Amino acid sequence: MKNTMLEYAKKLDDQDALGMYRDEFYIQRNIIYMDGNSLGLLSKRAEKSVLTLLDSWKQYGIDGWTQGEHPWFYFPETLSEMCAPLVGALKDEIIITGSTTANLHQLVASFYRPEGVRTKIVADELNFPSDLYAISSQLALHGFDAEENMKLVKSRDGFTLQEEDIIKAMTDDVALIVLPSVLYRSGQVLDIEMLTKAAHERNIIIGFDLCHSIGSVPHELDKWDVDFAFWCNYKHVNGGPGATGGLYVNRKHFGGKPGLAGWFGSDKEKQFDLSTHMIPAADASAYQIGTPNILSSAPLLGSLKMFEEVGIDAIREKSLKLTDYMMTLIELVLGEYNFVIANPRESVKRGGHIFLVHEEAARICKALKVHQVIPDFRSPNGIRLAPVALYNSFEDVWKTVQILKMIMEEELYKKYENKRDVVA
């Protein structure tokens, strides 16, 4: 059977051991959702856990902090234990708290210790801007000029980074390195283990932004000896818009003082002594600041259960099959339409999405939406398509490519302006 046929996609779906999870999600009728790397879909379990936590507020009022099925006071720790296998850490090395950017602020405030000529922070020019804004402002708080002290590793091709270029930037004047695990545009997976080893050989602290890998790509943060990491839980982890994020601090750094302190970073036994002197928790909980966002964390209870059940390795395996199939179809079906597949081809270097570059990308995305495929436009000319292991099918991939073909063949994209919307 030819792999460009619908029957072939259906056969792959029949063989898919994770196929049954699709029904656990709310997928709008006739919509092909390819944007789970920006905002994962709502699952029925996540919905149920929100209602459970809401009900504990209804039932217990203030006593919900200590009573009910999931006492709020310990809720971040409950979720951290469930999340730990996704990053390859011990449960007390991670904490569900804050947001990506706020957690980055916390971790830079905690681990950036400029000394003598070691004042620089290495990042990369392809990273998500919010990370770079946070690093710049942290440098400014130390009285440093960001232009001079934020060292951005350049990309040779505009899409990917070379590990050797990053290692070359690890000079004696560098105090800290912050890099993504998976690049948000091209979906390139960086070699975290190699980069961490190189940084440590040069006495540099290194941390990673896991926004685009958590829930999609396995991590071994402990084994790789990463110093810290942070992430959001609304992309592949399906925690809902603005879901509480997470952070990891390697246990070798336990006992340090959080750069940004607040009472929820306290040793829990002592927190309600309400002393004027803070006694930080002995683990990653110390990096919490204020009262946990219980209702924005609640969906994670249901969602992470699914990850526990399926396991991240099975998710990665299916994810790679989906993106592999998508690349094959793009080449076979869209060959004449000048799309460039700008994500890395090899499995070890490919994250959970496909990145297509086309000069008409903005309006191709608008046409896709009108034809019920939800893509993600990334300025200036990128189309991200994320077939997600837990809820997308091989048939979704097949249909997406067919619809793209129709849009190109009939030049349907020309009906729209080649300009991004406010949120894109």
Ligand X SMILES: *Cc1c(COP(=O)(O)O)cnc(C)c1O
End-to-end Cα, the chain, rounded Å: 38
56: amino acid identity, one letter:
S
Q: What angle do CA 40, 46, 49 make, to 5 degrees?
A: 155
Nearer of residues 100 and 119 to ligand X, judged by Cβ:
100
Nearer of residues 93 and 131 to ligand X, judged by Cβ:
131
Nearer of residues 99 and 293 to ligand X, judged by Cβ:
99
Nearer of residues 231 and 307 to ligand X, judged by Cβ:
231
Give the Cα separation of 163 and 184 in Å (integer).
Answer: 17
Provide the minimum distance between the beta carbon of 133 and ligand X in the complex, in angstroms, as a whole number. 10
Nearer of residues 180 and 302 to ligand X, judged by Cβ:
180
Cis check for the bond before 292: say yes or no (omega within 30 of 0). no
State the residue for tokens 């790679």.
320
Taking Cα atoms as reference points, which of 45, 260, 274, 237 lies closest to residue 137? 260
Provide the minimum distance between the beta carbon of 180 and ligand X in the complex, in angstroms, as a whole number. 5
The two beta strands, 340-341 and 354-357, are antiparallel
Give the Cα separation of 16 and 394 in Å (integer).
Answer: 9
3-state SS, one letter per residue, for 321-352: HHHHHHHHHHHHHCHHHCCEECCCCCHHHECC
Nearer of residues 246 and 387 to ligand X, judged by Cβ:
246
Residues lying near ligand X in the complex (CB under 6 A): 99-101, 128, 130-131, 180, 184, 209, 211-212, 232, 245
Provide the minimum distance between the beta carbon of 123 and ligand X in the complex, in angstroms, as a whole number. 11
Q: Do 218 and 69 meet the contact criterion of CB atoms below 8 Å apart?
A: no
- Return the H-helix or E-strand segment holding 247: strand 246-249
Provide the minimum distance between the beta carbon of 270 and ligand X in the complex, in angstroms, as a whole number. 30
Taking Cα atoms as reference points, which of 392, 406, 330 lies closest to residue 364? 406
Provide the minimum distance between the beta carbon of 115 and ligand X in the complex, in angstroms, as a whole number. 28
Q: Do 298 and 52 meet the contact criterion of CB atoms below 8 Å apart?
A: yes
Provide the minimum distance between the beta carbon of 358 and ligand X in the complex, in angstroms, as a whole number. 22
Spatial neighbors of 47 by CB under 8 A, at least 6 apart, are 26, 299, 302
Provide the minimum distance between the beta carbon of 121 and ligand X in the complex, in angstroms, as a whole number. 15
Nearer of residues 76 and 180 to ligand X, judged by Cβ:
180
